[in-house]
Structure formats: structure tokens, C-alpha cells
Structure 1
Amino acid sequence: MPVRDSIAWTCLLVGSVQCGNSPFAIEMFHRMKTMEPPNETCFVAMLLACSHQGKVYDGRSYFTSMAFDHGLAATRKHYGCLIDLLGRSGYLEEARDLIAAMPWTADYANWTSFLGACREARDLKNAAFGASEVMGLGSRVAAPNLLLASVLEQERN
């Protein structure tokens, strides 16, 4: 890269993850840290990269490193990425605990991500809990109901 500033690095990381090249993004992130401090968006990219690769330990490390090593506060997006990572990797109880521990109320996206993970894991108990939480938000969107119905159908078969 001719110009190696935070904008260029962030674009490289996000673009690599979006194009499915998470290993390259992770490699570039570590190279970037030697030249430029990472910003919040860089950490979103790293959490997404870990989610795509099922790297739970690494994802947790990035999440923790944001605050302790770089003084960055986790945003809703960071929490959402970590919920997705935990859920996709089958850590439903930990995802649920993270949702409960967030410094704000979980939103529709958090619960829908959790429900999608419950569907993949065929976990009816957590799916029912997640669906009730989404319905408690007053959303009229059909996706949570469809995800719960999918889990129920899997349970029936």
C-alpha cells in the first residue's frame, strides 16, 4: 500500500473479510498493529474473521484486547459479532450469558443471531427463550417466529 494510514488498513481488513479471506485479514491486522493503532472497525473485522473461521479463543482475545490493550470500548457491533461467533461455534449458553451481560438491552439483531445459532444446534430450549425475548421487544418481524418454527420442525423429525 502506498499510504499506510488507519483508513487504508481498515479498508484492507474489512474488504478481505467481506471477500472471504479472513486468514489474510488476520495476518494484516497483526502487521498493521506494528505501524498503526487499530480502531473500532478493525476489531469488528477481526471478530467477523474469527466468526467465519470458528476461532472462538481468538475472537475472545480480540474482544478483550480492545479495552485492555487499546483503550477502546466495545460497541453494540462488537458484542453482536461476538454473539455470532459464540453461537456459530455452538457456545449457546455463553452467547446467552454475553447477551445478558451487555451494558444495554439486547436488540432484535442480537436475538435473531442467537436464534439462528439455536436452529443450527437444534436447541429447542434456548430457541424458545430467545424467541420470547424477541417477542418481548415488540417486533412484528416474522424472522424470529420462522427460526423458532424451524427448530420445532427439526425437533419433531
Structure 2
Amino acid sequence: PLEDIEAINEEVLGAIDLEKGTLAVSMFIKKFNFERSLMQEHFNENYLESDKYPKATFKGVIKDFAAINFTEAGSFEAQAEGEMEIHGVVRPLTAVVKFNVSPETLRVSTEFEVSVADHEIEIPKLVIKNIAEVVEVRASFNFKRQER
């Protein structure tokens, strides 16, 4: 309620297997950058415990993958369904994913919410009103096609 807190991680690894319809994302928690260094320090040391839990991951599948034509240029949406691991806790995650297909690239974006409590991230009572119980996540990736 007091201020928006935003963090950006531009060093995220992502992969899509366009033959199987599988997705994978992996990121180091310490690569999130905050506007204020103190916020970043608290995020890593007090909340996400990034020395103990250095990565967050998602592994999943594109639902109804067989019905999607990734060889045709255009934009479309599909659901991704899988498991997100944050803070050592794995939870199911389903999100709408937007695809923008061109001959050379595949742009992918999504938005979803993550409950802090679902991943056993403890927020001290002193700052509980300053930290969101549900975090909005926005992600975008630009993939280049690899020939096999």
C-alpha cells in the first residue's frame, strides 16, 4: 500500500521444445535488480534466502500443443501448465502464454501471480503491510530458432 516494489531479472534462461511442446525456465534469484540496494539485500537475505535457494524454475507443457502451428507467422495464446519451484517449494502453475511467431524468432510473454505463502516465504510482521502477499510476475522471452 505504501509503494510499488519492482525487481527485474534480465538473465533468465528459457527453452521451448517445439517438437514436444515442453517449456523450461531457470533463473538465479540474486540476478533480480531492485531500485534500492537495501530492498535487494532484504529480498535475497531475509525473504528468498538466495544463498540457500539460489534458483527458481518452471517446467511444463503447452496445453493442446498438437493444435498449434509454430511454423506459421502470427500471434496466438495458449495455456502453459507445469510446476514452479521457488524457495525450495514446488507448486503447480497454469498461465496464459502469448506467442508471436516469425520465420526467425519466437517471442513469448506471460503474466501470472505467485502467492508468497504458497512458497513458504516468511515476511516479518514489522513490514508485512509493505510487502504484497501475492506478487505479480511479468515475463517475456525472445527465442531464436535452432536448426537440428
- Give the TM-score normalised by the residue count of structure 2: 0.21
- Higher fraction of strand: 2
- Higher fraction of helix: 1
Structure scoring higher RCO (CA < 8 A, sep ≥ 6) equals 2
- Give the TM-score normalised by the residue count of structure 1: 0.20
